[in-house]
């Protein structure tokens, strides 16, 4: 009889990915302390030594799961911050977090839990700090361009990222309203402030009102005509000023984009270095587990 597909022998890499998927689900449901090696092994239908062979223990697999989730979310945020206009950066970053929560709920639940000491830097606080460091660069450029003190950028970055992150934690369970509407309201508060809130924000916040008030079908006095003419001239001047500002913003955006590309290259290099460290730690843990296995079960 042909052996069922689910019972066929997996390759080492396939087994490793299976254990990571199973552990991810269990850690999301029960947390680090509530999950045991026995449960991971039983769910995967393997013996405990198999888990030790791949990860060296529960700490090892937990570190891999947390690191993967952090890299996934950081990658989405980094991509969002590559936009040219600051408002678009903010919109896309908020949407990126909400998209991650929607598509990787288990991963986000793991990240927002109080991480075990074995995870090293894999804590929600350290994740927020990494994202804030990216936002800080964006804010510093904007502050300098608008005459604010760039030294305040780190503090504002923490405020902004903290607000978005806590909203994400709340939305993880309620899921109402939809992610685009939530992002629009987040951007509304961050961009406009409490004193300038838009009562009906939308994610397309870049658009401006262009509708003109239609003329009423009645005789218009000379005074009203002069006022209308002045109003039109004022609108034309404001439109010209807006165009000039946009041209300046576009030039600044090009300069910032070059800086952003350089920073992204550096971040990618740091990510590769972190991944290499994780691999090395996994290898050491696996080696230690193998030695322990030999001691516990001598030939």
Contact present, 99 and 179 (Cβ < 8 Å):
yes
pLDDT surpassing 50 at residue 116: no
pLDDT surpassing 80 at residue 11: yes
pLDDT surpassing 80 at residue 76: yes
Q: What is the total residue count of the chain? A: 299
Per-residue confidence (pLDDT) for residue 212, from 0 to 100: 30
Q: What's the whole-number mean pLDDT along residues 273-290? A: 84
C-alpha separations of 177 from 5, 168, 190, 201 in Å: 42, 12, 18, 13
pLDDT surpassing 60 at residue 280: yes
Q: What's the whole-number mean pLDDT along residues 89-98? A: 85
Query: CA 60, 63, 65, 67 torsion: positive or negative?
Result: negative
pTM score, whole prediction: 0.57
pLDDT band at residue 26 using 50, 70 and 90 as cut-offs: very high
Among residues of the chain, what percentage have pLDDT more than 70? 78
Per-residue confidence (pLDDT) for residue 216, from 0 to 100: 39
Please identify which residue in the block is written with the tokens 């029960």. Answer: 30
Per-residue confidence (pLDDT) for residue 42, from 0 to 100: 92
Distance CA 238, CA 154 (A): 33
Per-residue confidence (pLDDT) for residue 235, from 0 to 100: 61
pLDDT surpassing 80 at residue 60: yes
pLDDT (tens digit per residue) in 145-196: 778 888 888 888 888 888 888 888 888 888 888 888 888 888 888 887 766 6
Q: What's the whole-number mean pLDDT along residues 8-21? A: 85
pLDDT (tens digit per residue) in 200-258: 777 643 322 322 333 333 344 566 556 656 665 676 677 667 777 877 887 888 888 88
Distance CA 182, CA 188 (A): 10
Core vs surface per residue 27-41: b (16+ CB within 10 A) or e: bbeebbeebebeebb
């Amino acid at each position: 009889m042909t052996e069922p597909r689910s019972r066929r022998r997996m390759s080492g890499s396939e087994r490793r990915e299976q254990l990571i998927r199973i552990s991810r689900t269990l850690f999301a449901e029960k947390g680090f302390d509530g999950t045991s090696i026995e449960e991971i092994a039983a769910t995967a239908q393997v013996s405990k030594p198999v888990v030790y062979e791949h990860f060296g223990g529960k700490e090892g697999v937990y570190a891999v799961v947390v690191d993967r989730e952090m890299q996934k979310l950081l990658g989405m945020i980094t991509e969002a911050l590559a936009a040219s206009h600051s408002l678009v950066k903010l919109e896309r970053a908020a949407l990126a977090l909400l998209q991650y929560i929607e598509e990787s709920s288990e991963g986000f639940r793991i990240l927002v839990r109080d991480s075990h000491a074995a995870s090293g830097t894999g804590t929600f606080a350290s994740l927020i700090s990494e994202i804030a460091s990216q936002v800080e660069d964006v804010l510093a450029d904007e502050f300098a361009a608008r005459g604010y003190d760039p030294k305040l950028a780190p503090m504002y970055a923490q405020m902004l990222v903290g607000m978005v992150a806590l909203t994400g934690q709340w939305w993880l369970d309620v899921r109402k309203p939809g992610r685009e509407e939530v992002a629009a309201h987040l951007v509304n508060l961050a961009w406009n402030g409490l004193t300038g809130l838009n009562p009906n924000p939308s994610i397309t916040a870049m658009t401006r009102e262009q509708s003109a008030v239609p003329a009423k079908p009645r005789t218009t006095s000379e005074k009203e005509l002069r006022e209308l003419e002045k109003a039109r001239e004022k609108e034309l001047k404001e439109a010209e000023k807006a165009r000039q500002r946009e041209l300046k913003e576009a030039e600044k955006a090009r300069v910032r984009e070059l800086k952003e590309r350089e920073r992204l290259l550096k971040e990618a290099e740091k990510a590769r270095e972190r991944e290499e460290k994780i691999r090395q730690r996994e290898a050491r843990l696996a080696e230690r587990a193998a030695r322990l296995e030999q001691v516990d079960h001598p030939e």
